[in-house]
Amino acid sequence: MGEDQRKADWLQVTEETNALDCLKRVCLFALQAEEDRLAWKWAVIALHSALYSFAICACEGTANLAVVRETKRGRRLIAIENALKLCQDDSYMRKWFGGHAIQLTSEQKQAFRFLKKIRDQFEHYQPMLWAIAYQELPYHAMQILDVIHSLSETRTWCHPPAGFFEEVRSTITKCRTILQESRAHREFNEMMRKQETLNVSDQDLRKRPDSSGPEHGAIGISCEAVFSAPEPHADPLPGNADGKT
């Protein structure tokens, strides 16, 4: 049996092919979300997995010693937060010739916190009625795509297959186009334009002598109030006065 035949008999995964596959799934689910809003759940999970995988690949080194910990339960991969912290440590990343650390912007850090919170909710779902403003998902996703692109450019990858980085760049470009043209992102931009109009109107009203009335206070709606995901209710279906649901 030849080598090609042996490969065909197995599902083979490496850290690099796993990272790229997760990235491709983001494109797939973001495209499906145009017709099926619930597909955003899988896009978020895939994006988190892609970011995690790219961070591990960028900082794992030649022997994986930096990203794997020995515990009483066996070998465990470091958390995504710790992997990203290593990738931002210039002294660590420069151990490899030509290697360099990444720098996350405040927007990217905010996007990561948002992604992590939403992904954890989806991945470890608890019985409840839960909702988020899905319109902001593409914006945060594009911030994470920029981080993934930076991780692919650190020059610290030890085992990239031929043509890997070219495929990463083309996949990121494709995914960004899908997100930019998505219905959710168009709605997000429209909501932001309305918010800017409200803010300008509010500032104009505050300059007037009679702007202290309660009717003016309702105009200054913050972006956080409009776009933040509602906190899960402890009891989404509360009972009646007699305790029955």
pLDDT tens digits, 225-244: 333 333 443 333 333 334 44
Residue 228 within any structural domain of the chain? no
pLDDT of amino acid 77: 95
d(CA 151, CA 53): 10
What φ, ψ does residue 89 adopt, rounded to 5°?
-90, 105
Q: Which two tokens stand for residue 29?
A: 């689910």
Is 173 domain-assigned?
yes
144 within domain boundaries:
yes
Residue 208's region, left for phi above 0, alpha for psi from -120 to 50, else beta, is beta
Rounded to an integer, what distance in angstroms lies between the CA atom of residue 228 and that of residue 235? 20
Q: Are 73 and 44 in contact (CB under 8 A)?
A: no
Domain range enclosing 170 = 8-185
- Whether 96 has a pLDDT exceeding 90, the answer reads no
Q: Please report whether residue 207 resides in a domain.
A: no
Question: One-letter amino acid identity for 128?
Answer: M
For residue 240, being part of any structural domain is answered with: no
Classified as helix, coil or strand, 220 is: coil
Give me the mean pLDDT over the 124-151 stretch.
94
Decide if 159 is inside a domain: yes
Domain count, the chain: 1
Is 3 a residue whose pLDDT tops 70?
no
> Above pLDDT 90, what percent of the chain?
62
154 vs 90: CA distance, rounded Å: 10
- Is residue 59 included in any domain, yes or no? yes
Give me the pLDDT at residue 9, please: 83
Nearest to 44 by CA among 129, 141, 124: 141
Average pLDDT, the chain: 83
